[in-house]
Amino acid sequence: MKILGIESSCDECSAAIIEDDKILSHVIASQIPVHAKYGGVVPELASRAHIIDIVEVLRGAFAQAGVTSQDIDGVAVTQGPGLIGSLLVGIEAAKAFAYARDIPLVGVHHTEGHLLAPLLDTTEGMQKPRFPFMGLVVSGGHTNLIAVHGVGQYEMIGQTLDDAAGEALDKVGKMLGLPYPGGVAIDRLAVGGNPERFHFPRALPQHDNFDFSFSGLKTSVMTQLRRLQAMPQGQDLADLCASALEAVVDSLVRKTLRAAHAAHASTIVVAGGVSANKRLRQRLAEDCRAEGLQLSIPPMKLCTDNAAMIAGLGKFKLASLLAQHAHFEAFNLQPKPAWNLIEAISV
């Protein structure tokens, strides 16, 4: 069964075609240059860029896979959560395709896509995680700890009470005058910095608390900047980046490992843009090894927002809907900008 996946929930316009667990093609048009000068994603510009990109991205996915529209058996699209204007572009493209070909269309949950991305085949020979696993989804929009007992069987263990981890790093980056996205710049600069020079708070440290809070980090960095009096440069800047990053990484790693033990999960899966972070990867690898846990981080292209994970999840959803002889009505699919994962699976 060949499935076309479409993802347009935020600032990546992506299409992919999969066959079973194999990715036949995968195209992503990033909008980083569109939003860079504003220091964050501008929703209206994001939806306009999706409108410009979507047809070319779809064409690219077909060309790369070497298949035609006639070969596709079903379509999966991100239905939410995300920016409403951005979601609409992908959903309308998916509806048009499914309607024209008269094939089933399914709307899927973006975070669920991230969680199941490691079940796709990758060229890097990564071992597929076994259930139950503890998923950490950590990006500009999400910071969630989710116990995955099986496909469609999730338990929300913890989430951020304010900023997502990537959002906090992006805001700190902006305060330090770094280019957008700040998380990427902080990752680069932190390599030469001393993570112990400044102490930034680790929120909600209680052993049985699996929620996160990163908004206090901005205030602490701001206080530190006032103390330094001038805009930090050179070693001061590197030390600030390393120390701020350490506070984020420390919270993420400690809570994820604790949550894995609490849920009797022997594997940790990490997805979302922040999983590209060098220090996070290093700490996770060291601590998982020390505590006898297996670590599964998909290749970068499957960690950030992408349509392959949407097609991968769509495969499961379509199979179960087809088994129930569900009626597919492509025109009824509406975006769900604030869709909650646990709600999504309990309907």
Q: Is 74 in the site for ligand KG4 (CB under 6 A)?
A: no
Q: Which of 171, 155, 166 is nearest to 210 (CA)?
A: 155
Nearest approach, Cβ of residue 305 and Zn ion (Å): 4
Q: What one-character-per-residue DSSP string does 2-43 give? A: EEEEEE-SSSEEEEEEEETTEEEEEEEEE-HHHHGGGTS--H
160 near Zn ion, rule: CB under 5 A? no
Rounded Cα distance, 58 and 41, in Å:
23
Beta-carbon contacts of residue 336 (< 8 Å; ≥ 6 apart)? 79, 80, 81, 87, 107
Q: Which stretch binds ligand KG4 (CB under 6 A): 19-27, 133-141, 220-228, 317-325?
A: 133-141
CB 165, min distance to ligand KG4, A = 8
Which residue lies nearer to Zn ion by CB, 139 or 224? 139
- What is the C-alpha separation between 153 and 168, in angstroms, rounded? 29
For the bound state, the minimum distance from the C-beta of residue 261 to ligand KG4, rounded and expressed in Å, comes to 26
Q: Is residue 86 involved in binding Zn ion (CB under 5 A)?
A: no
Q: Is 61 exposed, middle or buried (0-12, 13-18, 19+ CB in 10 A)?
A: buried
Cα 289 to Cα 93: distance, rounded to the nearest angstrom:
44
Which of residues 8 and 139 has its CB atom nearest to Zn ion in the complex?
139
Q: Which residues on neighbouring strands pair with residue 76, listed in sequence order?
A: 5, 106
Q: Is 141 in the site for ligand KG4 (CB under 6 A)?
A: yes
- Residue ranges in 291-330 that form contacts with Zn ion under rule CB under 5 A: 305
Query: Does position 166 bind ligand KG4 by CB under 6 A?
Result: yes
Of 158 and 273, which has the nearer Cβ to ligand KG4?
273
Residue 275's CB is within 10 A of a number of other CB atoms, namely: 24
Is 14 a binding residue for ligand KG4 by CB under 6 A? The answer is no
Place of tokens 């002889």: 325
Considering only the stretches 148-156, 176-184, 192-200, 315-323, report the one whose residues sit in contact with ligand KG4 under the rule CB under 6 A: 176-184
Name which position in 31, 139, 243, 306 contacts Zn ion (CB under 5 A): 139
Stretch that binds Zn ion, among 97-105, 115-123, 138-146, 260-268 (CB under 5 A): 138-146
- 156 Cβ contact partners less than 8 Å away, ≥ 6 residues apart: 144, 145, 146, 341, 342
* Residue least distant from ligand KG4 (Cβ): 273
Contact set with ligand KG4 (CB under 6 A): 10, 139-141, 166-167, 169-170, 181-184, 187, 272-274, 276-277, 304-305
